[in-house]
Amino acid sequence: MKHLHLIKVKYLGATDTNGARIKITSTRHNQSKYLSKDYEFDSGFQQAIDYLHTDLKYTVVATCPLNYGDTEHGILVQEFSEFKPQDKVLDEDGNRLY
């Protein structure tokens, strides 16, 4: 049996002080990272998959809902590395995205 790393994804709606965000949490390292909601994606879940695959170079193996609503999902990946919140993700113009 192959071991996988579960990443929890939760959409956080806008508040008086913060815009909408996506929270991704490593269940292995108990570490979270917040992404500002990018409205080019249909959902925060799709944005999280893109971030894990494109920016962190994780291999997404499977996805699943974690509750009966549409507020929390799971993404199974092969990699076990920790998130590095200090790392900056830049766009092609050098502007910070995350």
Number of domains forming the structure of the chain: 1
For residue 48, being part of any structural domain is answered with: yes
Instruction: Say if 53 falls within a structural domain.
Output: yes
| Residue 33 near residue 85, CB atoms below 8 Å | yes
Identify whether 36 is part of a domain: yes
State the DSSP code for 81.
P
CA–CA distance, 72 with 10 (Å, rounded to integer): 5
- Asked if residue 90 belongs to a domain, the reply is no
Tokens representing 32? 């979270």
For 78-95, the pLDDT digits (tens) are 988 877 654 555 666 766
47: domain range? 5-77
Residue 25 included in any domain:
yes
CA-CA distances (angstroms) from residue 9 to 31, 74, 75, 91?
12, 6, 8, 23
72 — pLDDT class (breaks 50, 70, 90): confident
Task: Tell me the per-residue pLDDT of 45-58, one tens digit each, with 9 for 90 and over.
Answer: 999 999 999 888 89
